[in-house]
């Protein structure tokens, strides 16, 4: 019988802490070194551009009047708790899923800190091709994207019997 929790999997939360730390440091540096909405070319296809997002992904609900701050903060908090519980229930050899969940938790908490402290998320990575710009993002967003990708990849691996 599988245990209800596997506290040993909690060691994966170092990855979450690393994501939160990198996210907060890079946001602090971006705010200290960049002028808002003024691109700083880094390499072809990539600028550093300080922007603020009061909504969710792609600025969804950014103009909703303020209630979205606490809605998204609450959602991030609930999801983080759910993901940590899921992590603690993993089997001892489920490393792939543990890494994915840890990245998701770190990303959610990184953006949660911004929402609670300032009501907006700091974004500064500006990927573009020609005149088309992907919505700006940050380290937390990157960790969330990577975590989701790993979960999807893991589900395909399981479906094939590894």
Catalytic residue IDs: 123, 141
What is the 8-class DSSP label of residue 129? Answer: E
Surface-to-core class of residue 36, CB atoms within 10 Å of its CB (0-12 exposed, 13-18 middle, 19+ buried): exposed
β 121-129/40-43 pair status:
unpaired
CB 103 within 8 A of CB 19: yes
């Amino acid at each position: 019988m599988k245990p209800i929790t596997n506290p040993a999997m909690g060691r994966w939360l170092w990855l979450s802490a690393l994501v939160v730390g990198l996210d907060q440091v890079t946001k602090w540096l971006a705010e200290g070194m960049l002028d808002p909405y003024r691109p700083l070319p880094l390499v072809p296809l990539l600028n550093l551009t300080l922007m603020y997002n009061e909504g969710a992904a792609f600025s969804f609900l950014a103009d909703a009047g303020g209630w979205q701050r606490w809605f998204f903060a609450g959602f991030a908090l609930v999801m983080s708790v759910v993901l940590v519980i899921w992590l603690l229930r993993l089997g001892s050899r489920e490393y792939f899923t543990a890494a994915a969940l840890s990245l998701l938790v770190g990303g959610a908490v990184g953006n949660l800190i911004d929402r609670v402290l300032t009501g907006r998320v700091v974004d500064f990575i500006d990927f573009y091709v020609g005149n088309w710009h992907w919505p700006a993002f940050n380290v937390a967003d990157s960790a969330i994207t990577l975590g989701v990708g790993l979960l999807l990849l893991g589900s395909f691996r399981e479906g094939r019997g590894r």
